[in-house]
């Protein structure tokens, strides 16, 4: 139950509802994902907002909307990356459960995306910030990975190939394939400290690993942002 509860956060998705209202999905500092009805034009995305929420059901009534900053416009890769962030927050974060680390990382990632166009190594920087966001999100969702042992609690061996299973961890396999991960790459994560940049090897590993994990968590519905990004890259 919320009664004139003040929320701070971001609009991550909206759709029209009846004539003059919208169903809006927010990512908030106080309660993580919150859904509700807004009887006015929705605010821009990627821009901090404040509002009040009231209601018992999963759909709250939102009033007293305030936009707290100058508008942010993303172009090119930053546009698709922002769409991707919002989509995985919408699809993976539980309703009305605070996710403080993910919220903080989301804010940081939006700031970093604003610097993307002027970055000397834009594509490396983009991979770095997306992997860091996924890392924090998956940990806070309860999917932190032990990179030192396999599914049988045996030490990860550098010369061994592994298949990753969401609920079991790293399973040793006899042959390398497109979906397997090299033990030598997995053990590079043992030295990683949260908040640091990933090394080139770690980015290589996590790009593959987190895609597998997120796909498994999403189930049958693929990400629209990824499909659009691929189409855009091909054209």
The residues that bridge with 162 in the sheet, in sequence order, are 172, 181
Residue keyed to tokens 């400290």: 193
In 3D space, the residue among 128, 127, 138 whose CA is nearest the CA of residue 102 turns out to be 138
SS3 track for 83-147: HHHHHHHHHHCCECCCCHHHHHHHHHHHHHHHCHHHCCCHHHHHHHHHHHHHHHHHHHCCCCCCC
Q: Which two tokens stand for residue 184?
A: 């030598």
Give the span between the Cα atoms of 15 and 8, in whole angstroms: 20
Contact (CB, 8 A) for 52 and 60: no
Q: For residues 217 and 92, is the Cβ–Cβ distance under 8 A?
A: yes
DSSP one-letter code for 197: P
What would the two tokens of residue 191 be?
């030295």
Could you tell me the pTM of the whole model?
0.92
**Is-contact 13 25, C-beta < 8 A?**
yes
Q: What angle do CA 39, 93, 167 make, to 5 degrees?
A: 160
| Domains of the chain listed by start with CATH number | 2-67 (2.40.50.140), 76-234 (1.20.1440.120)
Tens of pLDDT along the chain (235 residues) come to 888 889 999 999 999 888 889 999 999 999 999 999 999 999 999 999 999 999 999 999 999 999 988 888 899 899 999 999 999 999 999 999 999 999 999 999 999 999 998 999 999 999 999 999 999 999 999 999 999 999 999 999 999 999 999 889 999 999 999 889 999 999 999 889 888 899 999 999 999 999 999 999 998 777 776 777 677 666 6
DSSP structure class, residue 228: H
64 φψ region: left (φ > 0), alpha (ψ -120 to 50), beta (else): left
C-alpha 228, offset from chain centre: 17
């Amino acid at each position: 139950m919320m009664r004139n509860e003040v929320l701070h956060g971001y609009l991550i998705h909206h759709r029209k509802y009846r004539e003059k209202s919208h169903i809006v999905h927010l990512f908030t500092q106080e309660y993580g994902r919150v859904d509700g009805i807004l009887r006015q034009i929705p605010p821009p995305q990627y821009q901090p907002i404040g509002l009040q929420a009231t209601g018992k059901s999963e759909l709250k009534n939102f009033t007293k909307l305030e936009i707290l900053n100058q508008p942010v416009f993303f172009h090119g890769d930053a546009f698709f990356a922002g769409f991707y962030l919002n989509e995985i927050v919408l699809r993976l974060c539980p309703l009305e459960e605070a996710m403080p680390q993910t919220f903080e990382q989301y804010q940081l990632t939006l700031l970093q995306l604003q610097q993307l166009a002027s970055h000397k190594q834009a594509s490396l920087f983009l991979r770095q910030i997306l992997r860091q966001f996924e890392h924090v999100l998956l940990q806070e969702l309860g999917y932190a990975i032990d990179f030192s042992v396999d599914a049988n609690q045996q030490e990860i061996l550098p010369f061994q190939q592994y298949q990753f299973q969401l609920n079991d961890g790293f399973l040793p396999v006899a042959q390398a394939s497109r979906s397997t991960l090299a033990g030598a790459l997995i053990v590079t994560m043992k030295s990683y400290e949260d908040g640091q940049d990933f090394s080139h090897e770690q980015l290589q590993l996590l790009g593959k690993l987190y895609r597998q994990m997120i796909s498994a968590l999403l189930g049958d519905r693929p990400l629209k942002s990824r499909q659009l990004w691929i189409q855009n890259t091909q054209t």
